[in-house]
A and B are shown apart, each in its own frame.
Chain A
Amino acid sequence: MSQDSPSGARSSGTPRSAHRAVRDVVFVDGVRTPFGRAGEKGIYAGTRADDLVVKCIRELMRRNPSLPAGRIDEVAIAATTQTGDQGLTIGRTAALLAGLPRTVPGFAIDRMCAGAMTAVTTTASGIGFGAYDVVIAGGVEHMGNHPMGAGADPNPRFMSERIVDPAALNMGNTAENLHDRFPAITKERTDAYAVASQDKLAAAYAKEQIQPDLVPVATMKPGQGWTVNSVDEPPRPGTTVEDLAGLRTPFRAHGRVTAGNAAGLNDGATAALLASADAAEELGLPVKMRLVSYAFAGVEPEVMGIGPVPATEKALKNAGLGIEDIGLFEINEAFAVQVLSFLDHFGIADDDPRVNRYGGAIAVGHPLASSGVRLMNQLARQFEEDPSVRYGMTTMCIGLGMGATVIWENPHHADYGTETTTTGDTATETGAAA
């Protein structure tokens, strides 16, 4: 990351998006399955990953009855491991299994943890470019069926030529590395952050802020019969810092990263409906968010958790915005240390109310490639609840040293649809940023 100019400051140059007329992309709706704990005792043991995606797609169609299924131009579904029930080009198989018309194409996409986020940005670009009007983008990870890294075959050159420290292929190690780099982030801080995440999620559940975007999933297990899962399995409400203090540090003796201050191993799927602003209007589809900009950035794989910082700087620059313009943050909590490194960088307090209002992945879980759309679902709901916020951000770190950030505008904000007035001296082309 560049430290030449003050990080996150509004750039004085012309936003990249101003150079061409692109179509506006809107987030119409998003849903997800309840997340489960991976493993034999988890709610989705014995359930297929592709079926989880199918439930999401069908729920999107039910929730948006004015959308003719034949108008969907693409189904992009992410999965980190693309074999077995996550193989066979899961975007296409899920579309067929969901009962979408055979004329609707689909593809599979992978950027590890940012899979669903990349499914959104890639198809959004296609909408902006004019290739699509309406798309479904989402992700899935059944980490019970596909343990992290299973079947991977890292190139020996990573080691022999010291391209990547082999230890960096283990995400927990990279989180410990991040503690080394930022000694101010202590285990006490990460544990406190984790407890707050649990508390915020429990509060959000109590206020019915999570449930509306969950699609119930029926599962059947041997000797138990059918049940319907309608809430997340991973949360541990009521967790205290004392509970977390004694947990094992599996990645390093006397380390700082524990199961309590990191996201767990989970199963789940998400899907979102995106459209061009014109198509949304034509089809009578609601607009929950407008896409402002996005960016991906690479960092040293050994400290992959810092990835959101340069990705956010790029995305802000692309948007012609500054960090102070962002009123809501949905940052994925792969590890508490990684969230805190982001907050410290931008001078945001650990308990800033703009950040992860409903809690985060530490509480709700992180089925790798699915999580990006969960962040968007939550940001969209917070936009609706808080029309005073104009811009929000979804951001996440990615294995092998990357970050992803997407900036969204709140359609409920009073200034929505007008030009951004904070972009300095350069006029923004109408229709590009508006």
Chain B
Amino acid sequence: MSAADFQKLATLFPNETVTHSYVQDIELPAVNGTSPGTFALVTLDNGLDHSKPTTLGPNTLVELGTVLEGLRERAARGEIVGVGVTGKPYFLVAGADLSTVKSVSGREQGLWMAQLGHEVYSTLANLGVPSFAFINGLALGGGLEIALQSTYRTVSTGAGALALPEAFIGLVPGWGGVYILPRLIGPENAVKVMIENPLSNNRTLTGPQAFDLGVADAIFEPADFVEQSVAWAAKVIAGVETPARAAAVDPADPAVAERWAGAVAAGRAFVEAKTSNASPAPAKVLDVLEANRTMTQAESAELECQTLADLMQTDEFRSTVYAFLDLVQRRAKRPAGAPDRKLARPVTKVGVVGAGLMAGQLALLLARQLKVPVVMTDIDQARVDKGVTYVHGEVDKLLAKKRISPDAANRTKALVSGSVSKEAFADADFVIEAVFEELNVKKQVFKEVEAIVSPECILATNTSSLSVTAMAEDLEHPERLVGFHFFNPVAVMPLLEIVRAPKTDDAVLATAFVLAKGLKKSAVLVKDAAAFVVNRILLRLMGEVTAAFDEGTPADVADNALRPMGLPMTPFVLGAMVGLPVAQHVQESLHEAFGDRFPVSKNLQALIDNGVTSVWDPASVKAGAPRIPEETLALMSFGDSASTGEDVLRRVQDALAEEIGLMLSEGVVAGPEDIDLCMILGAGWPMFLGGITPYLDRVGASERVNGKKFLPAGVASEPAA
């Protein structure tokens, strides 16, 4: 077999951005007075700048494999004593070209792709001379596996992200990573790299972290990384340097076998806790890891290829690529419907109406990110002082955690001030309110603010459920009002729903989008419709589950019915976290706007009226065995039509399909992609659901309810034949 045998696969992807393999011969520096010989250094380079990462598609792999086969022949002829692989600045290589892999059609093509990788990497691992990976920068998935398949590895202290993110993407590290890594760094750390990190917001390793784990044998600074790596390779080849590899294990050792089993079990528990096993990939990673302890590398390779071919056919994988690449990486950076940013007005001072908890969070974010003066107002000095003190305290916490420097802390604190008079807003360019969620209160606030500020000053509301249109009604300049809806906790959640009311003008909207970017938030443009996107969908979901519960479905059945979706938390836990009164308040607004699709639960109201903050006893949730206290049960009454978990799941699927269908026909957002982006960034919904619409498409809910799918074939599903 040779890489060229895969040309049939490569020709199917004529538009691949090929990462080329350039070879340079280097005379190795002398060790003890003699050069060990000639070293062939392969550079992986797509010829594009750092904004276009190098990736591995079929054409790239065929070229690399062919180059390596040539080097294998030269090694056999004694012309070279070693081979190195490195990348263009900032990248070793970013991993498999996901767009290509996603569009692989049919299992056979997927299998070819998997086998092609193994063919190429096996050449690298069996050149007849030692191979070296110089990990100069980012190395993800198949990129890091190039390094793992090499005999030796150096890493740069400046290397950005090293990871095997396949479990997150919906695949397995199936080009040898799952076999080599546990042997190199021990099974526990391998599970950390292959399971825990990918499932923890796709966390990656820095160069020094990778070195500490034993992923690399030597570490050098970026300023002369290639020079030092080559010099190190010379010493290894000359036999004067031998990496220690303290973390490496022998899987045949009974003690290691025990550790191996323990690591796999811990991994399975982690996957269950994080994803409810709603996506197949993480468990498959652990299956292969568990099985390959007693396998040869070739046996493992066969299993890896078959597993990869299976997983490439899953919609969980395709949905993740859609969510990750098309939405988070691309659409989030170029929000649909945002006006030309040239229309944006400068914002040099911000006002925050209110000094409560939400106002404080907003003031902190605005001051830290925009670095402009932020003034908070409230009705009395005590509240103002409390708000400013809260912000200063948060800054001190950041300072104590060394997240910011003392100078930055001083600067941020100095930027945040308070006043009992809205006169302080006179020279503000942007004033946002975070007062009580009551239309008349907000209208009154804006009336007072408008009397003070310039006609160009933008007014923003952080309302989660009220009508922005109604808020603008009595304004002198209704065109200046925009909805600016953050998610709690403000500092953490990446989504911002920017709400356009009918009269909001383009300059105001453009400023809002530029501000969002300045705040490092991903903004989605939404029409003014009750509860906008995230809360409307969440409450529709919670409303259905609560209704099933109220009708007589046992609490554990109702609350666990959605486990196959792998959501970050159950509906009852979410309700308690949001706060039952807040959730109920939004539900009432939605009920008012949309009627019975959003039923208001009498049972929940009873809990709220009696000061109960959670359906479950919070302590029992923490302990992992949720139960409802007798006193809580006594407050509620139930119907006698119990549903099964399957019934509730299907009911929620259909309800979501209906609601999203309506939202799209109302024009709340530009398309289903924005719904998905909102649910990923605003609610933390998993990428293997693709947000939500790919999931509703694949379980049939879209067609059951709306008679058609939300997304065309191939976007987050198998490409049309």
A residues near B (Cβ < 8 Å) are 51, 54-55, 58, 97-99, 211, 215-218, 220, 222-228, 230
Q: A223-B47, A225-B22, A225-B23 are in contact. Are A99 and B41 (CB under 8 A)?
A: no
Within 8 A of A (CB), among B595-639: none
Q: A225-B42, A225-B45 are in contact. Are A55 and B26 (CB under 8 A)?
A: no
Closest to B157 in A: A99
Q: Is the CB of B230 within 8 A of A220?
A: no
Q: Does B89 contact A (CB under 8 A)?
A: yes
- B26, B47, B224: the one contacting A58 at CB < 8 Å is B224
Q: Is the CB of B226 within 8 A of A218?
A: yes
Q: Does B223 contact A (CB under 8 A)?
A: yes
A55, B221: Cα distance in complex, Å: 12
Interface string of B208-246 (1 = CB under 8 A from A): 000000000000010111110011000000000000000
Within 8 A of A (CB), among B8-50: 20, 22-24, 26-27, 29-30, 41-43, 45, 47
Q: Is the CB of A99 within 8 A of B42?
A: no
Q: Cβ of A99: which chain B residues have Cβ within 8 Å of it?
A: 221, 223
Closest to B42 in A: A225
Q: Does B115 contact A (CB under 8 A)?
A: no
CB distance from A210 to the nearest CB of B (A): 13
Determine chain B's interface SS by DSSP, over half rule.
mixed
Determine chain A's interface SS by DSSP, over half rule.
mixed
A218, B26: Cα distance in complex, Å: 10
Q: Cβ of B29: which chain A residues have Cβ within 8 Å of it?
A: 216, 230
A-B contacts, 29 listed (Cβ < 8 Å): A54-B223, A54-B224, A55-B223, A55-B224, A97-B223, A99-B221, A215-B227, A216-B29, A216-B227, A216-B230, A217-B227, A218-B225, A218-B227, A218-B230, A220-B43, A220-B88, A220-B89, A222-B45, A223-B47, A225-B22, A225-B41, A225-B42, A225-B45, A226-B24, A226-B41, A226-B43, A226-B86, A226-B226, A228-B41
A216, B226: Cα distance in complex, Å: 10
Q: Cβ of A223: which chain B residues have Cβ within 8 Å of it?
A: 20, 22, 45, 47
Q: Cβ of B221: which chain A residues have Cβ within 8 Å of it?
A: 99
A sample of 16 more A-B contacts (CB under 8 A), given A58-B224, A220-B45, is A97-B223, A211-B30, A215-B227, A216-B230, A216-B231, A218-B226, A218-B230, A220-B43, A222-B47, A223-B47, A225-B23, A225-B42, A225-B43, A228-B26, A228-B227, A230-B29
Q: Cβ of A222: which chain B residues have Cβ within 8 Å of it?
A: 45, 47
Q: Is the CB of B227 within 8 A of A55?
A: yes
Q: A220-B89, A226-B24, A230-B29 are in contact. Are A58 and B223 (CB under 8 A)?
A: yes
Closest to B22 in A: A225
A222, B20: Cα distance in complex, Å: 11
A276, B26: Cα distance in complex, Å: 39
CB distance from B224 to the nearest CB of A (A): 6
CB distance from A148 to the nearest CB of B (A): 28
CB distance from A95 to the nearest CB of B (A): 12
Count of B interface residues, CB-CB < 8 Å: 24
A226, B225: Cα distance in complex, Å: 11
Q: Is the CB of A224 within 8 A of B22?
A: yes
Closest to B20 in A: A223
Q: Cβ of A228: which chain B residues have Cβ within 8 Å of it?
A: 26, 41, 226-227, 230
Closest to A54 in B: B223
Q: Cβ of A216: which chain B residues have Cβ within 8 Å of it?
A: 29, 227, 230-231
- A211, A218, A227: the one contacting B224 at CB < 8 Å is A218
- B26, B88, B225: the one contacting A227 at CB < 8 Å is B26
Q: Is the CB of B24 within 8 A of A227?
A: yes
Q: Is the CB of B27 within 8 A of A230?
A: yes
Q: Cβ of A224: which chain B residues have Cβ within 8 Å of it?
A: 22, 24, 43
Q: Cβ of B226: which chain A residues have Cβ within 8 Å of it?
A: 218, 226, 228
A98, B221: Cα distance in complex, Å: 10
Closest to A97 in B: B223
Q: Cβ of B22: which chain A residues have Cβ within 8 Å of it?
A: 223-225
A225, B27: Cα distance in complex, Å: 15
A222, B49: Cα distance in complex, Å: 11
6 closest A-B pairs by CB: A225-B43, A225-B22, A218-B226, A227-B24, A226-B43, A218-B227
CB distance from A197 to the nearest CB of B (A): 24
CB distance from B532 to the nearest CB of A (A): 48
A222, B48: Cα distance in complex, Å: 9
A263, B224: Cα distance in complex, Å: 29
CB distance from A31 to the nearest CB of B (A): 12
A211, B30: Cα distance in complex, Å: 10
CB distance from A58 to the nearest CB of B (A): 6
> Of residues A51, A55, A99, A230, which shows the largest number of chain B Cβ atoms within 10 Å of its Cβ?
A230
CB distance from B314 to the nearest CB of A (A): 37
A217, B27: Cα distance in complex, Å: 13
Closest to B43 in A: A225
> Of residues A97, A217, A223, A227, which shows the largest number of chain B Cβ atoms within 10 Å of its Cβ?
A227
Q: Cβ of B45: which chain A residues have Cβ within 8 Å of it?
A: 220, 222-223, 225
> Of residues A51, A216, A226, A227, which shows the largest number of chain B Cβ atoms within 10 Å of its Cβ?
A226
A211, B22: Cα distance in complex, Å: 27
Q: Is the CB of B24 within 8 A of A225?
A: yes
A217, B495: Cα distance in complex, Å: 46
Closest to A227 in B: B24
Interface string of B395-413 (1 = CB under 8 A from A): 0000000000000000000
A99, B23: Cα distance in complex, Å: 30
A215, B88: Cα distance in complex, Å: 22
A222, B47: Cα distance in complex, Å: 6
CB distance from B258 to the nearest CB of A (A): 44
Q: Cβ of B26: which chain A residues have Cβ within 8 Å of it?
A: 227-228
Q: Cβ of B43: which chain A residues have Cβ within 8 Å of it?
A: 220, 224-226
A20, B227: Cα distance in complex, Å: 46
CB distance from A93 to the nearest CB of B (A): 13
CB distance from B403 to the nearest CB of A (A): 21
Q: Cβ of B230: which chain A residues have Cβ within 8 Å of it?
A: 216, 218, 228
Q: Cβ of B41: which chain A residues have Cβ within 8 Å of it?
A: 225-228
Q: Cβ of A98: which chain B residues have Cβ within 8 Å of it?
A: 223
Closest to A219 in B: B226
A379, B293: Cα distance in complex, Å: 61
Q: Cβ of B86: which chain A residues have Cβ within 8 Å of it?
A: 226
A230, B26: Cα distance in complex, Å: 9
A227, B27: Cα distance in complex, Å: 10
CB distance from A55 to the nearest CB of B (A): 6
Q: Cβ of A51: which chain B residues have Cβ within 8 Å of it?
A: 223
Q: Cβ of B231: which chain A residues have Cβ within 8 Å of it?
A: 216
CB distance from B644 to the nearest CB of A (A): 61
CB distance from B50 to the nearest CB of A (A): 13
A97, B222: Cα distance in complex, Å: 10
Interface string of B127-171 (1 = CB under 8 A from A): 000000000000000000000000000000000000000000000
> Of residues A220, A224, A225, which shows the largest number of chain B Cβ atoms within 10 Å of its Cβ?
A225
Q: Cβ of B47: which chain A residues have Cβ within 8 Å of it?
A: 222-223
A11, B325: Cα distance in complex, Å: 80
Q: Cβ of B23: which chain A residues have Cβ within 8 Å of it?
A: 225
A220, B221: Cα distance in complex, Å: 17
Q: Cβ of A55: which chain B residues have Cβ within 8 Å of it?
A: 223-224, 227
Q: Cβ of A211: which chain B residues have Cβ within 8 Å of it?
A: 30
Interface string of B575-612 (1 = CB under 8 A from A): 00000000000000000000000000000000000000
CB distance from B132 to the nearest CB of A (A): 13
CB distance from B649 to the nearest CB of A (A): 54
Within 8 A of A (CB), among B175-225: 221, 223-225
A97, B26: Cα distance in complex, Å: 26
> Of residues A220, A228, A230, which shows the largest number of chain B Cβ atoms within 10 Å of its Cβ?
A228
Closest to A216 in B: B227
A98, B224: Cα distance in complex, Å: 9
Q: Cβ of B88: which chain A residues have Cβ within 8 Å of it?
A: 220
A58, B224: Cα distance in complex, Å: 8
CB distance from A152 to the nearest CB of B (A): 31
Q: Cβ of A220: which chain B residues have Cβ within 8 Å of it?
A: 43, 45, 88-89
CB distance from B60 to the nearest CB of A (A): 14
CB distance from A82 to the nearest CB of B (A): 22
